[in-house]
């Protein structure tokens, strides 16, 4: 992966490592967010639902995706990142269940120079999270400011 803005090219792509969503993740996220919705926290009620079991919070999946992306960046790229600038077209495509392992596939789809006091421009990255069966569970366009 490229570090500075001028080294980034449309079409650059990468895949992250995987991460399994655990019981601890869901419980901790519920505690931090205050989202104790039965979809995430009530196994008995969810056993009789269309899902058949609890699902991870969408916001938890989003957070894990951002972490996987950060961990996949090399040190040069991390130094040139200024800020997470925005999200477009975010979709939770399929539920993520406790025990699912997700990874991210990402591709640079646009770069735009900006007049900014710290950054050189915005990089738009198409991001897709896939589960262990290679089914898309999440998609979005992430925008980052880069030096």
Domain residue limits, the chain: 4-146
β-pairing, 121-130 with 81-92?
unpaired
- Which tens digit of pLDDT belongs to each residue from 98-118? 999 999 999 999 999 999 999
| 139: helix, strand or coil | strand
- CATH T-level assignment (fold) for domain 4-146: Thiol Ester Dehydrase; Chain A (3.10.129)
pTM of the predicted protein model: 0.93
Q: pLDDT band for position 3 (50/70/90)?
A: low
- Which tens digit of pLDDT belongs to each residue from 53-95? 999 999 999 999 999 999 999 998 999 999 999 999 999 999 9
Beta strands in 1-147 (DSSP E): 13-15, 19-20, 81-92, 101-113, 121-130, 136-146
């Amino acid at each position: 992966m490229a570090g500075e803005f001028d080294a980034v090219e449309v079409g650059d792509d990468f895949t992250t490592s995987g991460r399994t969503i655990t019981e601890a993740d869901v419980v901790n996220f519920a505690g931090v967010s205050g989202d104790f919705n039965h979809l995430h926290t009530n196994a008995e009620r969810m056993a009789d639902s269309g899902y058949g079991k609890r699902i991870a919070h969408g916001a938890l999946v989003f957070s894990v995706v951002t972490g996987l992306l950060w961990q996949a960046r090399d040190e040069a790229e991390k130094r040139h990142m200024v800020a997470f600038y925005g999200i477009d077209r975010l979709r939770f495509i399929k539920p993520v269940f406790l025990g699912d392992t997700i990874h991210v596939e990402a591709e640079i789809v646009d770069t735009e120079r900006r007049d900014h006091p710290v950054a050189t421009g915005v990089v738009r990255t198409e991001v897709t999270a896939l589960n262990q069966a290679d089914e898309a569970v999440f998609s979005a366009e992430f925008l980052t400011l880069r030096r």
